[in-house]
Amino acid sequence: MISIATVCGMGLGTSMMLASQIRTLLKNEGVDAQVQAIDLGSFKSQPSDIVVTTTGMANNVAGTKAIVVLIDNLINKDEIKTKVMAAVEEFQNK
């Protein structure tokens, strides 16, 4: 099972929105994953295979061993699907 963390400053708004969209996407694609919305402070202590956040948070998630997905537009479902599925494929091919 793939572990995916959605990260934002407080772990509430942005990360919850991303987590909800990603859960739906992965369910529709038949991908077994645990998706968890977390705040920036907890992020480094929560090991994940894939980290999804906004482009503005790129510096805050740099250096993680996880595959990092940066989203420019939170309401663009095509962008989210394209980038998250590419990361899932990359993880599965490791």
Two structure tokens written together for 27: 């369910």
Look at residue 41 in the predicted model and tell me its pLDDT: 85
Range of the domain at 51: 2-92
Give the Cα separation of 73 and 61 in Å (integer): 18
The upper half-sphere exposure of residue 26, i.e. CA atoms within 13 Å in the direction of its Cβ, equals 22
Look at residue 86 in the predicted model and tell me its pLDDT: 98
Location of structure tokens 């705040």? 39
CATH code (residue 73): 3.40.50.2300
Beta strands in 1-94 (DSSP E): 2-8, 33-39, 50-54, 67-71
* Phi, psi for 36 (deg, rounded to 5): -130, 130
pLDDT in tens, 59-82: 999 888 999 999 999 999 999 999
User: Is 5 within 8 Å of 52 (Cβ atoms)?
Assistant: yes
pLDDT in tens, 1-18: 999 999 988 767 889 999
What's the total number of domains in the chain?
1
Give the Cα separation of 17 and 25 in Å (integer): 12
